[in-house]
Structures are given as structure tokens and as C-alpha cells.
Structure 1
Amino acid sequence: EEKCANILEEYDLLAVSGNATDKNTLEDAGIDRADALVATTSDDALNLMACWLAKKYSVRTLVSIVNQKEHAELFKEVGVRISENPDEIVARSLFLWAENPDTQLLAAIEGGTIFEITVAEGAKGVNKTVREASGVKDMLYIAIRRGGKLIIPSGDVVFLPEDVITVFTKEEAEARSVEYMEDLFR
């Protein structure tokens, strides 16, 4: 219940403490009027059951953590959008940071990673265009923050010192992409 109180202070939503697989709990929570159900327990069976029940009540958006990868297909069959195991995301983030201290993992999504790096003064990539700095297949520049402004990177945009570059890379290209970015911008 303390967790619910903390969530309510932070976000504009309804947080309910109870058994998410109990129809009465779900009905008391207003499941028939819900836009979404987000299941975040460490028990895949519980998360799946809660999502399945919510689907029976026509909840449009179902999101869940999947703690064991081998269960992912079951969630997809029910129509659940899945999130990676939080422990795995943290471990991946710590590993990436330990190997490349100047790179920060922003998000690990199914099949890919979003990370950012700050351009160092005197780096090889300073004054190169996005087109010139596109050296890794399956990597995409998605944003540049420069002096409080957001830039959508097109081919002719030039990288400057202190730019914070946000990059998406497919999972299989993550190591190459991070190494490339570190070499070019640090």
C-alpha cells in the first residue's frame, strides 16, 4: 500500500494493492473502464493471468514485464506488449557503462538499445556531418541535444563539442556501435 501511495504522488493514475488475478479486485479497481493494465510483478504466471483477465474486460493496452524470456511468446499470444526483465536491463546498463564510461544506456527494448554519448572537445567526430559519421550498419542517430535545443539529425547536421547524441542500434550491432561512437566522439 505504501508503494501505491508513492505511485499516486508521482503519476496521474489509479494504483490498487490487491490480487490482480481476482475478478473482484479488478472490478473494484474499475477494470471495465481501464485504458491499460501494466503488470510488473516478478511472477510471470501472475502477470500473464492479470493481462488475460484484463483482455476479457476489453482493456485495450496490456503491458507486462517478462522475467523469463522463454515465456515471451505466451504473452504475445494474449496480445501483451512486453518489457524486458528489469534486472537484465540494469545488468546490461551497468556492463555497458563499465566497458564504456562515457556512454549511457537510455533504454533496452526488444531487439535493440537506445543510448547516448556526449561529444568531447577535440574528438574525431567534431565538425563531421551525420552522413560522414554513419559508419555502422543497423545504427541510427535519433536526436542531438545542443545547448538546450533538440535537433532531429539529418544527413547535413554537423556534430559539435558538448552535443549529446542519442542513438538507436539493433541488439546485434550494439557492441560495434558503442565502440564506433566512443572512438569517434570521445
Structure 2
Amino acid sequence: MTTTDRIMYLIIVGAGRIGNRVIELATGDGHEVVVIEKNTDLAEQTSSNYDCLVINDDASKMDVLEEAGLEKADALITTTNDDSTNLLVMMLGRRYAVPRLLSSVREPDHISLFDELEIDFVESPHRLNGEFLYKTIQRPGIKDYMRLDGGAEIVEIKLAEESSLIGLTILEAIESEKIADDLIIVAIYRHGELIIPRGNTTFEAGDTVTVLSKEGIGKDIIQTLKTQ
């Protein structure tokens, strides 16, 4: 079982390099996955390689998304090379009130369109990878993600106003066991400025905190940073 603590129903649009990685991770974790891929060769390859339903059609058509089970989807992820297709699919997902919408964005000029719809997206090329998309679906609130050798992970997450860390110093948070002592606060971005954290650095609402964990960033860590 993954950090979501339950099996999710995921619709993944696009089975190229990025989509393929998302499919690999999601099916490997036992989630119920439906893939929509317009390219016949990619669709057949995906069907052969993974335990998932593959629909060889155009995801920008409402009836195709309905066939994929949009009304019961926990998340809709678009990974195509066409931003217009990605945007349209996200709009249709919004119409069906899909709980999580996440898309890749190829052209920086198109970012504002996704931002206006309040859709989670991966915009910069170095972050445009399937693992980041999948981790974002698993762990809402993550702003950036990197996996290191040996299982360690680095994430960026924005501190919510409800977080119990607000007003505490890093040392106080460790002493009160709100964050584990083996969790390293690498950096804090506040009002666009980089803060190199020390033991007496105080957490503030809205801080974007970069965290390193040797054992990987679990649900409990994300929840602590966001709320609790």
C-alpha cells in the first residue's frame, strides 16, 4: 500500500516517456489505472507491459473520458506533448469535479492558463518527469520532488497556516517531536528570499520548506508540515 493508505482510481492521458513512468509507478503500487493513448503503437505497448485498461482514442473527447470512468476517478493526469489537449482534458475533469487534476505543461507561455484554472501542473523542464507527477498525486502539497540514491528524498512543501510548526523554531519542533530529529530542513524560501535555516530559525505560515529525509518523505511528514 502507498502513502495514500488506499487504492486509487487513476486516469492517465498519454503513454509517452512521462506517462509511461506514471503508469509504471501507479500499477506497481496496485492502483486501478486507466490509460488513454491516441497512438496505436503506444497503446498496444502499454497494454502489453502493464496491468491496466488502455483506451486507444483521443482523450479530448468527452465520451472517451466517460468511458474511462471519469465520474469515479480519484485523479486525472495528463502527460501529452500538446498543451491544448492537456488543458481541455483538465477543463473536462473540472466539470466532473475530479478531486485531483494534474498536468504537464510544455510551453512556459501557457502556464498562466493552467494557473487560472487552479490546476496542479509541472512547468519547468527539469521537473517534467513521471515520478514527480505521481508523487504529487500521492502527496498533495508537494511543490517539488527529487529522489536520491539509497532511497533518500528531497521535497519542497508550503507551510499551511494551520501547521503546528508555525511560530516554532526548528530546534523547538525537533525537541517537541513534531519533526523527527533525522529530518533535515535544507532551506526555507520566504517572500521570495532564501533563508539558510539554523536551530533558532522560526517557521512562518507561507514558508516553502525544503526537506531532506534519508528514509523517504512519508505521508506523516507531509501532514505535519501542512497541518497538525
> What is the TM-score of this pair, normalised by structure 2?
0.40
Q: Flag the structure with larger Rg.
A: 1
